[in-house]
Amino acid sequence: MIRHGASSPVRTSPHGSVTPDPLRGFGRLLFTVLRRLPKNALSRWMGRVASLALWGPVQRAEIRLFAWLSGVDLNEARDEIEDFSSLQRFFTRALVPGARPIEGGERVLVSPCDGVWGAAGRIEGGTMLQVKGRSYRVSELLGDDDLAEAFEAGCYATFYLSPKDYHRFHTPAAGRITRVDHHPGALWPVNEIGLRGVDALFARNERVCAFLEPDGLGADAPLALVAVGATMVGSIRLAFGTQRTNQRAKEPSRREYGAGAPHFERGEEWGHFEFGSTIVLLTPPGEIELEFGAPGDRLRMGRRIGSWGGLRD
């Protein structure tokens, strides 16, 4: 059964008691303002604004200004600035061939995106860390109590994408995506204010959970790839099907692909954010081991982050 994530930003401990808010001063003020804003509607509006096609010289100036302010490396973009019809098209740009080489062999797990490492570690007691000192439950993230049990004693890793990053996300291993769940929810920011001010942030925000059965491991060892929405992320879009988020949907949905499940090569694109947000990767216990980075460490799509089958070199 698919469950909704928590819908209120009231902060409680895993045992149900209210916990003290660590935000102070200006951070607390911003949290209060954000709490009152219509974050989903605002994000939809921003998505429409970013998709506007402006007069050529103005459009090029807008893209160049954004790239300069954000620190985007324009040399990596496959297309010239003149080829982007809107700022949104630039957000979701493709890269020049070879910009993100895929490391290792077929038993090497690679980063699904550009960004930085967040919390990562072993799943214990059905919980993971959102940030140091604050945990949340796998069952809340996936919205499925039975499936959450399959990841007990496995690993998790959190990857944050910033506005300057490449916004497309890819498969860490070759395999079939057999199921996709969509969980509507809030769109809190995934920055320090959201991480420290909102319990179970990734389980409250709108998200798409895809389940990948790696070649050679199959249904006994699926990976969970969770694309989490955030404030100002106009939408999450998949490279297959017509799934699109932040569309005023109120009920969770699930699609199981069965024999027609799409197959992806290692490092193949399976979706993109229309701005930037977060990917949470879950691996089951047993064969697969992640090689954790420290919070804040940079990584690029295609870099080695783990392996299976005892492969260590």
Regions of the chain short of the pLDDT cut 70: 1-36, 38-40, 43, 232-234, 242-249, 276, 310-313
Tens digit of pLDDT for each residue in 245-289? 656 667 888 999 999 999 999 999 999 998 768 999 999 998 899
Distance set, CA 79 to CA 52, 90, 185 (Å): 19, 9, 34
The pLDDT value given to residue 137? 97
Domain ranges of the chain: 25-91, 108-308
The pLDDT value given to residue 69? 94
Catalytic residue among 114, 144, 165, 199: 114
The pLDDT value given to residue 310? 62
Distance set, CA 258 to CA 3, 170, 241, 275 (Å): 22, 21, 14, 31
Catalytic residue among 167, 170, 183, 272: 170
In the residue annotation, 114 being an active-site residue is answered as yes
Whose CA is closest to 122, among 106, 99, 138? Answer: 138
| DSSP code at position 302 | T
* DSSP state letters, 165-193: S--EEE-SSSEEEEEEEEE--B----SHH
The CA-CA-CA angle for residues 293, 296, 298, to 5°, reads 70
The pLDDT value given to residue 182? 93
The pLDDT value given to residue 245? 65
Contacts of 210 (CB under 8 A, 6+ apart): 177, 179, 180, 224, 225, 226, 227, 238, 270, 271
The pLDDT value given to residue 31? 62
In the residue annotation, 4 being an active-site residue is answered as no
In the residue annotation, 15 being an active-site residue is answered as no
The pLDDT value given to residue 233? 65
The pLDDT value given to residue 276? 67
Catalytic residue among 43, 111, 139, 277: 277
| pTM of the predicted structure, to 2 decimals | 0.86
